[in-house]
């Protein structure tokens, strides 16, 4: 059984998706979880793009211990130098070079001949190899390139020391059969192909990214580049969770498997949604809300007791459980902490104390507390880890269908001072946001607002994600409560704190 390496580019290609930008802390949180998932290669960004990108790549490189860390770079000496400077502290670094190979891009963007590209390939791979043992070459727009020329590019790269060659379907143009045939051709015609890994990178413009990636595996690829939840520029990238579960469920067909810890998939998906504020569509394969839902009326008698009659996999395989834990308001700290660890979370003592207090508060409001409730509490607390410029003291809402909604908000500042303001709005949430804006003294625009229930039932916790902007800066926030108004207020305050923190860091 061939072992397939998973190359995750959520922090690079995924972050290019509209609304999916992440700050440094969020990238580190996501990188740690991807490493817990068992991802083999994590692309942390483009270090040469900006100082902020450089800092985030360097921070991820220093943080991770088991996953290989890479950064994409143009095939230019100055970009390679910057990339290596960011990666040099990684335990397992890889320099990832990108060079266009299609005639369309050579003529319109690179302004170079095929021969000049071959010369640049040899020179820059050799240059990168002097700095880093692991060097990958991606042939941008490979699926629209002349296959014979593409083979020459890869042969040149391998001779110069490349360890991985990547065949990107950069605009989501190709079909599974075409893509598989291209990889077979390259593996059979490129001199030295047996000494390097062949990697796929597929975009989803025609909805074929996962299918193309799986055909690449059948054709002999040993590494697959993908993103969590399939996020990415335009229509997104191949979805990590779909590729991994396809290999797990149909490993005998593909003759391949991966050692990804699938029980971490659901948690990783939810963390990404919390960080970006971008919800997963309900009918999304593997991690969507409806992925394991059944409409019982359409099922034959008896099948509800045999789930695999109508499911290709069990929800437990991805870490999703619908079981209620036997914990309540009388449960002790030890039993609760054990359950948090069983769910895969490792938290500090301070966070554990805060988490237990919030669990007790929730247990007083809900009849039953589920694993998903506890996971939501953990996500909420981790989202609040930045220094708090403001904290909620209290709020009072006056609203109805015959009066103008009014909100009185009292916040405590970092200095302990309490400030209270009153504002009106189109509804109780809008009025609350307006009151908070008065307190912080900023012109803040609400860019996005989304709300969802953690579990079923009238006593379910509400999760709220917001994105705000002020003077060109953008920040996201997350709030959780059984009261959706309170969850909205907490999310907005969290976003304000993130905005102040990021602005302060940039000014230092």
Asked if pLDDT for residue 69 goes beyond 70, the answer is yes
What values do phi and psi take at 295, rounded to 5?
A: -95, 105
Tell me how far apart the alpha carbons of residues 436 and 392 are, in angstroms, rounded to a whole number. Answer: 10
Return the half-sphere exposure (C-beta side, CA atoms, 13 A cut-off) of residue 477.
29
Does domain 2-276 fall under CATH 3.40.50.300? My reply is no
**What pLDDT shows up at residue 508?**
53
The structure tokens 């394991």 sit at 292
CB-based contacts of 143, cutoff 8 Å, min separation 6: 167, 168, 169, 170, 173, 174, 178, 179, 182
Asked if pLDDT for residue 409 goes beyond 90, the answer is yes
Nearest to 103 by CA among 148, 154, 38: 148
53-64 tens-digit pLDDT: 999 999 999 999
**What pLDDT shows up at residue 452?**
87
Range from 249-263, 279-293, 313-327, 361-375 carrying the lowest mean pLDDT: 313-327
Question: DSSP secondary-structure letter at 324?
Answer: B
**What pLDDT shows up at residue 162?**
98
Range from 10-19, 163-172, 190-199, 362-371 carrying the lowest mean pLDDT: 362-371
The mean per-residue pLDDT over the stretch 382-398 comes to: 89
Asked if pLDDT for residue 296 goes beyond 60, the answer is no
**What pLDDT shows up at residue 503?**
81
323-344 tens-digit pLDDT: 545 566 667 788 888 888 777 6
Q: Token digits for 507? A: 């000014």
How does the average pLDDT of the chain come out, rounded?
90
Range from 97-106, 311-320, 441-450, 476-485 carrying the lowest mean pLDDT: 311-320
Sequence-separated contacts (24+) of 145-150 with Cβ below 8 Å: 145/101, 145/102, 145/103, 146/103, 147/182, 147/185, 147/186, 149/101, 149/114, 150/101, 150/182, 150/186
CB-based contacts of 144, cutoff 8 Å, min separation 6: 102, 104, 171, 173
Asked if pLDDT for residue 259 goes beyond 60, the answer is yes
Tell me how far apart the alpha carbons of residues 468 and 492 are, in angstroms, rounded to a whole number. Answer: 8
Helix (H, G, I), strand (E, B) or coil at 261: coil
**What pLDDT shows up at residue 298?**
41
User: What proportion of the chain, given as a percentage, has pLDDT over 70?
Assistant: 93
Q: Which residue has the higher pLDDT, 454 or 58?
A: 58
Domain 390-507 class, CATH top level:
alpha beta
80-136 tens-digit pLDDT: 999 999 999 999 999 999 999 999 999 999 999 999 999 999 999 999 999 999 999
The Cβ of residue 470 has, within 10 Å, a number of other Cβ atoms equal to: 18
Sheet holding 390-398, edge to edge: 390-398, 406-413, 418-424
The yes-or-no answer to whether 2-276 and 390-507 have a common fold is no
What band does 25 get if pLDDT is binned at 50, 70 and 90? Answer: confident
**What pLDDT shows up at residue 91?**
97
175-224 tens-digit pLDDT: 999 999 999 999 999 999 999 999 999 999 999 999 999 999 999 999 99
Nearest to 501 by CA among 381, 384, 388: 388
Residue 483: left (phi > 0), alpha (psi -120 to 50), or beta? beta
Tell me how far apart the alpha carbons of residues 26 and 17 are, in angstroms, rounded to a whole number. Answer: 15
**What pLDDT shows up at residue 373?**
85
Instruction: Please state the domain extents for the chain.
Output: 2-276, 321-383, 390-507
Q: Give the total residue count for the chain.
A: 508
**What is 272-308 written as a DSSP string?**
HHHHH--PPPTT-TTTSTTTT---GGGSPTTGGG-GG
Asked if pLDDT for residue 321 goes beyond 70, the answer is no
What band does 363 get if pLDDT is binned at 50, 70 and 90? Answer: confident
Tell me how far apart the alpha carbons of residues 187 and 29 are, in angstroms, rounded to a whole number. Answer: 37
């Amino acid at each position: 059984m061939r072992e397939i390496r998973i190359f995750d580019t959520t922090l690079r290609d995924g972050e290019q998706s509209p609304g999916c930008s992440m700050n440094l802390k969020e990238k580190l949180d996501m990188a740690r979880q991807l490493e817990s998932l068992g991802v083999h290669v994590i692309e942390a960004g483009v270090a040469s793009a900006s100082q902020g990108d450089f800092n985030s790549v360097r921070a991820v490189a220093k943080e991770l211990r088991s996953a290989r860390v890479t950064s994409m770079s143009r095939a230019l000496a100055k970009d390679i130098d910057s990339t290596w400077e960011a990666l040099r502290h990684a335990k397992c670094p890889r320099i990832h070079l990108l060079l266009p190979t299609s005639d369309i891009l050579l003529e319109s963007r690179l302004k170079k001949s095929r021969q000049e590209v071959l010369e640049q390939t040899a020179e820059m791979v050799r240059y990168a190899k002097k700095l880093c043992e692991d060097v990958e070459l991606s042939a941008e727009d490979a699926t629209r390139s002349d296959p014979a020329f593409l083979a020459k590019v890869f042969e040149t790269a391998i001779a110069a020391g490349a360890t991985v060659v990547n065949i990107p379907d950069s605009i989501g143009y190709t079909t599974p059969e075409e893509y598989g045939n291209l990889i077979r051709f390259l593996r059979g015609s490129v001199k030295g192909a047996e000494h390097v890994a062949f990697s796929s990178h597929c975009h989803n413009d025609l909805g074929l990214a996962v299918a193309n990636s799986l055909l690449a595996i059948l054709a002999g690829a040993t590494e697959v580049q993908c993103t969590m939840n399939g996020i990415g520029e335009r229509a997104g990238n191949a979805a990590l969770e779909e590729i991994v579960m396809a290999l797990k469920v149909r490993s005998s067909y593909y003759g391949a498997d991966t050692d990804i810890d699938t029980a971490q998939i659901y948690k990783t998906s939810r963390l990404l949604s919390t960080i970006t504020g971008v919800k997963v569509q309900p009918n999304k394969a593997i991690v969507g809300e409806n992925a394991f839902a059944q409409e019982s009326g359409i099922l034959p008698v008896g099948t509800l007791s045999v789930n695999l009659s109508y499911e290709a996999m069990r929800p437990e395989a991805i870490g999703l459980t619908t079981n209620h834990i036997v914990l309540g308001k009388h449960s002790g700290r030890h039993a609760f902490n054990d359950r948090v660890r069983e769910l895969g979370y490792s938290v500090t003592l301070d966070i554990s104390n805060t988490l237990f207090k919030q669990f007790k508060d929730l247990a007083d409001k809900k009849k039953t507390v589920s694993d998903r409730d506890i996971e939501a509490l953990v996500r909420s607390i981790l989202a609040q880890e930045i220094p708090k410029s403001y904290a909620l003291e209290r709020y009072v809402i006056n609203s109805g269908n015959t009066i103008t909604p009014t909100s009185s908000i009292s916040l405590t500042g970092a200095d302990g001072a309490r400030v209270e303001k009153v504002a009106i709005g189109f509804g109780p949430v809008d009025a609350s946001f307006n009151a908070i804006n008065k307190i912080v003294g900023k012109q803040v625009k609400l860019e996005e607002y989304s709300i969802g229930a953690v579990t079923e039932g009238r006593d379910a916790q509400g999760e709220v994600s917001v994105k705000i902007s002020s003077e060109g800066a953008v920040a996201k926030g997350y709030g959780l409560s059984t009261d959706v108004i309170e969850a909205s207020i907490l999310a907005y305050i969290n976003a304000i704190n993130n905005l102040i923190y990021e602005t302060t860091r940039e000014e230092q």
